[in-house]
């Protein structure tokens, strides 16, 4: 039983690292989508402002 505990802990650490990587990648993708949406919104606002002039 004692020999399994460090092994289980190591597996859990590897799973935690993998989960953290996946979350970080997902957050980066979401930030990229948000930046793209902001750029589109800014372009639309600029077009509307130009039309009003």
- Output the pLDDT for position 3: 64
> Sign of dihedral through CA atoms 14, 20, 24, 25?
positive
Q: Residue 44's domain spans which residues?
A: 1-53
- Give the HSE-up count for residue 20: Cα atoms under 13 Å, Cβ half-sphere: 6
- Give the HSE-up count for residue 25: Cα atoms under 13 Å, Cβ half-sphere: 6
Note the pLDDT tens digit of each residue in 13-39: 999 999 999 999 999 999 999 999 999
Q: Band of the pLDDT at 42, cuts 50, 70, 90?
A: very high
Residue with the larger pLDDT of the pair 29 and 5: 29
The domain total for the chain is: 1
For 2, phi and psi rounded to 5 degrees?
-60, -35
- Output the pLDDT for position 46: 95
- Return contacts of 47-53, CB within 8 angstroms, 24+ apart: none
Does residue 49 carry a pLDDT above 80?
A: yes
């Amino acid at each position: 039983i004692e020999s399994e505990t460090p092994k289980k802990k190591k597996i859990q650490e590897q799973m935690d690292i993998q989960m953290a990587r996946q979350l970080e990648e997902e957050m980066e993708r979401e930030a990229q989508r948000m930046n793209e949406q902001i750029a589109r919104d800014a372009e639309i606002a600029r077009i509307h402002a130009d039309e009003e002039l």
